[in-house]
Amino acid sequence: MQGIPLGGATIAAKQEVNINRAIRAREVRVTDDEGTLLGILSLAEAMAAAEARGLDLVEVSPTAVPPVCKIMDYGKFKYEQSKKAGEAKKKSVKVELKEVKMRPKTEEHDYHFKVKNARRFLEDGNKVKFTIMFRGREVTHPEFGRRQLEQAIEDLKDIAVIESHISMSGRFMTMVMGPTKKA
């Protein structure tokens, strides 16, 4: 479970935290809204200090002895955490697996067009799965498909690395390439 940083302590993201009257400890170590340690206080004193500031008493580390509590505006804290989570989700990159299908008899121009598309996918940060489909008796000559995949490796070696080497499965020959770190 990932924690949410909170003034040196962490709150588990899924776990609800105890605030104000829900705190069950007799004594708590209290930090105020500026981050100053107020010391170990009884729960009543800590609640009085929070109420004097018009803020909430939030239990940030329930497993510590005594539990650590922080005086803060809990609603504002939850709002800021949801905003941060939204920003992190926006910035995260989803890597997709794009597929480029060819046949052993794919002509030169079509091959270059497909490799150009694969290059674009790799530059966008996606992985590319090359699939050579064999029909009929073409499966008796897998070297034609292997030659095409090796040519693709050569053409894309500047921006891609092989993640899954060339393998034959039934009538399909496949290979997966991923972008290099700098791409």
Domains of the chain: residue spans and CATH: 3-91 (3.10.20.80), 97-179 (3.30.110.10)
Q: From CA 63, how far away is CA 60, in angstroms rounded?
A: 9
Mean pLDDT throughout 39-66?
88
| CB half-sphere exposure, 182, CA atoms < 13 A | 3
Mean pLDDT throughout 118-124?
93
Digit-coded pLDDT (tens) for 84-113: 888 888 887 778 899 999 999 999 999 999
Burial call 16-35: b when 16+ CB within 10 Å, e when fewer: ebbbbeebebeebbbbeeee
Q: Is the peptide bond before 66 cis (omega within 30 degrees of 0)?
A: yes
Q: What is the pLDDT of residue 24?
A: 86
| Residue 33 in tokens | 């809204």
- Statement: residue 10 has pLDDT above 80: no
Question: What value does the mean pLDDT of the chain take?
Answer: 86
- In the chain, % of residues over pLDDT 70: 91
| Residue 50 in tokens | 């929070």
Residue 125, SS3?
Answer: coil
- In the chain, % of residues over pLDDT 90: 46
DSSP string, 38-86: EEEEEHHHHHHHHHHHT-EEEEEETTSSSPEEEEE-HHHHHHHHHHHHH
Digit-coded pLDDT (tens) for 76-90: 878 888 898 888 888
Mean pLDDT throughout 16-45?
86
- Statement: residue 7 has pLDDT above 80: no
Q: What is the pLDDT of residue 17?
A: 77
Range of 16-25, 44-53, 97-106 with top mean pLDDT: 97-106
Q: How far, in Å, are 74, 83, 116, 126, 128 from residue 173 at the CA level? A: 57, 46, 20, 20, 14
